[in-house]
């Protein structure tokens, strides 16, 4: 019997599917938008958008969640045309890290 090698995930942090109520306000270049977050981890997130983005583009993110203010900078790492973009966090404000941790705990328990 042939066994297929198991390829490990390239992600350092596993992503968690988010409930309907997790949204972000984000800006990339001259465009600002509000989008639903599909999944989230300590390393990044995937947001729904029909607008194409450029790989490597810098993005400013503000989460619109009950945990409090979460502001981050990210870079576009994956583009799924017509569906959304995968963003990798490049910086998160120190004072916002506890809020991000609380958000991750909430979405993990809701899934």
Higher pLDDT, 76 or 111: 76
In this prediction, residue 4 carries a pLDDT of 43
Contact 67, 99 (CB under 8 A): yes
Contacts of 34 (CB under 8 A, 6+ apart): 23, 24, 25, 26, 64
* Number of domains observed in the structure of the chain: 1
Residue 9 lies in a domain: no
Structure tokens of 33? 């938008």
Place of tokens 């576009």: 76
11 occurs within a structural domain? no
Could you tell me if residue 47 is inside a domain?
A: yes
Domain housing 49: 16-110
**Predicted local confidence at residue 13, as pLDDT:** 62
pLDDT higher at 14 or 80: 80
Examine residue 1 and state whether it is found in any structural domain, yes or no.
no
d(CA 17, CA 10): 18
Residue 3 lies in a domain: no
pLDDT at 2 exceeding the cut of 90:
no
Q: Give the domain CATH number at 53.
A: 2.40.10.220
């Amino acid at each position: 019997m042939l066994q297929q090698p198991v390829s490990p995930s390239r992600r350092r942090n596993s992503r968690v599917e988010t409930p309907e109520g997790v949204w972000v306000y984000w800006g990339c270049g001259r465009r600002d938008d509000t989008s639903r977050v599909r999944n989230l981890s300590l390393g990044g997130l995937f947001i729904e958008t029909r607008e194409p983005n450029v790989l490597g583009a810098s993005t400013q993110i503000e989460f619109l969640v009950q945990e409090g203010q979460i502001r981050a900078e990210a870079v576009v790492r994956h583009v799924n045309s017509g569906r959304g973009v995968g963003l990798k966090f490049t910086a998160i404000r120190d004072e916002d890290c506890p809020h991000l941790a609380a958000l991750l705990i909430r979405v993990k328990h809701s899934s």
